[in-house]
Structure 1
Amino acid sequence: MHPELPADLPVAVLGDPTARTALVLHGGGGPRTVAPITTHLGATMHALAPTHPGWEGTPRPGSIASVTDLAQAYLTRLDADGERDVVLLGSSIGGWIALEMAVRASVDDRYAGLIGAVVVIDGVGVVVEGEPVADFFALDARGLAEVAWHDPDRGYVDPGTLTDEQRAVQQSNGRTMAVVAGPRMSDPTLLGRLRDVSVPTLVVWGASDRVVTPAYGQAIATAIPGARFVQIEAAGHLPHLEAPEATWAVIDDFLDRG
């Protein structure tokens, strides 16, 4: 059974449909964590921000049980929609999806010209010796804030303040992430395959990220031919939330160059 996105997959759409398309891929926290990115890109591009199947209470088809399945499903959908020169921008697990898409598009002639550039923001997915991915599933809300944010008090959400509905969605998102990303949130083959990425790539990293350290991000950039690595100060795993202006400046400069 081929990986296939649901026909009614929720997608936030912003910007001019005749402009260059940017596909914004969220991480484990769901689409709200990348909403500012979608808004920013939507000012100059045709920004598409799907909710991955299984997140936010959406159904997850049985054919989508891994990041590789998601990557293939998104490539298939973009190709079917006639997209070309798409910018992939992924945060956290979304960065992993973007990297897998870029690798596949670079080695499969069916997708020639489909992907034009990649932006990874604090992505997971590779295995870097000595730089493990934090055990997300073992962390409580306070522990997650401590590793994910430069200012943990800003990122901490007291579970006691959540509604029953919000708590149910959060738990469901976690279960889906455990299935799709796996307990280690990595693919031991990915780092070696990044040498096949053939489009301009920007790797953006929060200097205070302790989910995946800047050294981990540098290893991703080093593995991709010609990739650029930029560190964002006073920011953790979600630099676009903690230091948006610095993050936009880096991304805009990269996209303006080509």
Structure 2
Amino acid sequence: MTTNRTVALDDDLTITLTENGTGRPALVLHGGGGPATVAGLSAHLARTLRTLTPVHPGWDGTHRPDRLTRIADLAQVYLRLLRDRELTDVLLVGSSLGGWIAAEMAVRDTTGTVGGLVLVNAVGVHVEGEPIRGVLTLDARGLAEHAWHDAERYHVDPAGLPSAELARRQGNTATMRTLAGDPYMHDPELLGRLGGVEVPALLVWGESDRIVTPAYGAAYARAFADARLALVPAAGHLPHIEQPEATFALLDAHLA
């Protein structure tokens, strides 16, 4: 049964949260495109897990307190959310920016809240010689060509979007710029801290991603104490959308 609720953490901070399924808890964290980009991923995981899928503050018209200015701040918010609900052994599943949040949560967890990680084409670290593409400045055509294996299929001309949808996307981009614009899409210290994370991690990467290339998945996998990289052919930055069956098979095998 799917439940939608608003969870108040402070007077100025509420989290819009969707819960589904039963069993081991899994926190599913979306990327810059918003919660719709992980809807299918959450639905698949809810077959065997209890999924919690939040909307990050500032996305899709939700309120972001001025004090939340870094991805690390969101990591602390979600750790508090899980601890307030007395959840342990939580599987963190993060796509793109959500993967960065999950990694920041893992390095900050001191109570056994986090039990495992699945990062899908995550940003958050810097790889020498492999710059993260400027998604905040690319036009719609350029973004499609960098994000998707099949750019023609997924390219959307913003001129054809309803005004409400265009405003939603612009608002999400503005929030992302505030939280991750400087330094651009990474924490310079994060890569060196990942070795202290001992829970198992799976890095799922679309082979055709040109925003964060598979070199980023390899860097994450090397940095964690217990990690494995799995590539998804014919997929870009969102393999769970472009190649869902192959991506879900990797997740199911890992969880089994």
- In the superposition, the TM-score normalised over structure 2's length comes to 0.94
Residue 8 of structure 1: how far off its partner (Å): 3.9
Alignment-derived partner of residue 17 in structure 2: 11
Task: Note the alpha carbon deviations across 1:115-150, whole angstroms, 9 max, x for none.
Answer: 110000000010110111101111001100000000
The answer for the alignment partner of 2:89 in structure 1 is: 85
Unaligned runs of 5+ in 2: 1-8
Could you tell me how far 1:216 is from its partner in structure 2? 1.6
1:28 maps onto 2:32 in alignment: yes
- Preserved CA contact (<8 Å) 2:117 2:201: yes
Partners of 2:209 and 2:191 in 1: CA distance: 20
Q: How far does the alpha carbon of each residue in 1:168-221 deviate from its partner, in whole angstroms, 9 at most, with x for none?
A: 111000000001112411111111111111101000000000000001210111
Structure 2 partner of 1:228? 228
Cα distance in 2 between the residues matched to 1:8 and 1:168: 21
- In structure 2, the CA distance between the partners of 1:21 and 1:209, relative to structure 1 (3 Å rule), is same
Which one has the bigger strand percentage?
A: 2
Mark the CA change 1:154 to 1:86 in structure 2 (over 3 Å): closer, same or farther: same
Q: CA deviation at 1:98?
A: 0.3
Counterpart residue type for residue 195 of structure 1: G
Distance change >3 Å, CA 185–CA 168, structure 1 → 2 = same
Q: Is the 8 A contact 2:97 2:123 kept in 1?
A: yes
Task: Note closer, same or farther for the CA distance 1:5–1:126 as it changes in structure 2 (3 Å cut).
Answer: farther
Q: 1:38-63: per-residue Cα shift (whole Å, max 9, x none)? A: 10011111111100000000000122
Select the residue among 56, 60, 65 that pairs with 1:61.
Answer: 65
1:101 pairs with 2:96: no
**Distance in 2 of aligned mates of 1:121 and 1:36:** 14
Residue of structure 1 in register with 2:4 after alignment: none
**Alpha carbons 1:5, 1:74 under 8 Å: kept:** no
Aligned to 1:145: 144
Residues of 1 paired with 2:196 and 2:177: CA distance? 27
1:14 is displaced (CA, Å) by 1.1
* RMSD across aligned positions (CA): 1.3
Q: Which runs of 5+ in 1 are unaligned?
A: none
Structure with the higher fraction of residues in helix conformation: 1
